[in-house]
Amino acid sequence: MISQPRTLLRLHVEAVWSVKLPPILQNDVELLRESFQPSWKLCAAELTDGRVDIWRPDVGTMEQETLHVIANEALALPSTVAAAPGISREIALHQVASPTIDVATARTIAHPLTPHDQALLETFESGSSDYYLHPDRRPLIGVVVEGHLLCVAHSSRRTSEAYELGIDTLPAARRKGYALAATVLWADAVTQEGLVPLYSALIENEASLRLAAAAGYRAFAQIATIE
């Protein structure tokens, strides 16, 4: 299991923004120039072993100084206070603790979905089956109760090293343990592939962060992106 915060940060940033990074060995690092360039100019991360600033390579020294100050202010804000326009804050997590339900229990609630479940997916969300059944969404896990699909866990972002969770639950089916079961089973499937399951949520999304905690995820970074 990968536990070094800087390696986890690289995996997270590459998966979420489809960019390429060198190993994060310093506190300042640039995206590779041949990489896709995102809308943000600075991705600032507070880790358990210090601060890392990831820069778009076209940002000059003077602008870096200004953006660094803005990032400091954004990272210091309480989660209940909204950041300024053009700034997004999130928490990135990895699974290091035992979930509140084990995999065996999760399997009694959730199970893998296949192309045979296309009709269920279309009923869950019209027009969504092509998205969910794309190979890049695997592992695809669902909760079906009385013939109705209520919750879907999938890989919303992925690289050759790590997958990031996407979890969708019908409003009437929330707070019943369905999302937790699907999340636990999804993470187990990713781990069985020898890859790293990651989870991230906007800092103000308390419900998502509670789900992450119940599924055994713990924060390794608080991140602010500055456009």
Q: Read off the pLDDT of each residue in 133-138 and give the average, rounded to a whole number.
A: 97
Q: Are residues 107 and 194 in the same domain?
A: yes
Q: Are residues 119 and 186 in the same domain?
A: yes
Q: Note the pLDDT of residue 173.
A: 96
Q: Read off the pLDDT of each residue in 23-46 and give the average, rounded to a whole number.
A: 95
pLDDT band, residue 49 (cuts 50/70/90): confident
Q: Note the pLDDT of residue 48.
A: 86
Per the domain annotation, does 207 fall within a domain?
no
Q: Read off the pLDDT of each residue in 38-60 and give the average, rounded to a whole number.
A: 96
Distance CA 160, CA 190 (A): 12
Domain boundary among 43, 71, 95: 95
Q: Note the pLDDT of residue 3.
A: 63
Domain limits for position 31: 5-95
Residue 160 has pLDDT above 60, yes or no: yes
Per the domain annotation, does 24 fall within a domain?
yes
pLDDT band, residue 38 (cuts 50/70/90): very high
Query: For the segment 110-119, what is each residue's pLDDT rounded down to a tens digit?
Result: 999 999 999 9
Q: Are residues 141 and 70 in the same domain?
A: no
Domain boundary among 72, 95, 118: 95
Q: Are residues 85 and 124 in the same domain?
A: no
Q: Are residues 70 and 47 in the same domain?
A: yes
**For every residue of the chain, which 3-state class applies, written as one string?**
CCCCHHHHHHHHHHHHHCCCCCCCCCCEEECCCCCCCCCCCEEEEEECCEEEEEECCCCCHHHHHHHHHHHHHHHHCCCCCCCCCCEEEEEEEEECCCCCCCHHHHHCCCEECCHHHHHHHHHHCCCCHHHHCCHHHCCCEEEEECCEEEEEEEEEEECCCEEEEEEEECHHHCCCCHHHHHHHHHHHHHHHCCCEEEEEEECCCHHHHHHHHHCCEEEEEEEEEEC
Per the domain annotation, does 206 fall within a domain?
no
Per the domain annotation, does 74 fall within a domain?
yes
Residue 2 has pLDDT above 80, yes or no: no
Percent of the chain past pLDDT 70, that is, above it, reads 99
Residue 186 has pLDDT above 90, yes or no: yes
Q: Are residues 174 and 132 in the same domain?
A: yes
Q: Are residues 91 and 109 in the same domain?
A: no
Residue 17 has pLDDT above 60, yes or no: yes
Question: Which residue has better confidence, 23 or 1?
Answer: 23
Q: Read off the pLDDT of each residue in 142-165 and give the average, rounded to a whole number.
A: 97
Q: Are residues 112 and 63 in the same domain?
A: no
Q: Read off the pLDDT of each residue in 180-195 and give the average, rounded to a whole number.
A: 97
Per the domain annotation, does 125 fall within a domain?
yes
Residue 78 has pLDDT above 60, yes or no: yes
Q: Read off the pLDDT of each residue in 156-180 and give the average, rounded to a whole number.
A: 96
Residue 174 maps to which CATH number? Answer: 3.40.630.30
Domain boundary among 95, 114, 137: 95
What is the overall mean pLDDT for the chain?
Answer: 96
Query: How many domains, the chain?
Result: 2
Per the domain annotation, does 23 fall within a domain?
yes
Residue 165 has pLDDT above 80, yes or no: yes
Q: Are residues 84 and 154 in the same domain?
A: no
Residue 1 has pLDDT above 70, yes or no: no
Per the domain annotation, does 142 fall within a domain?
yes
pLDDT band, residue 72 (cuts 50/70/90): very high
Q: Are residues 108 and 191 in the same domain?
A: yes
Per the domain annotation, does 47 fall within a domain?
yes
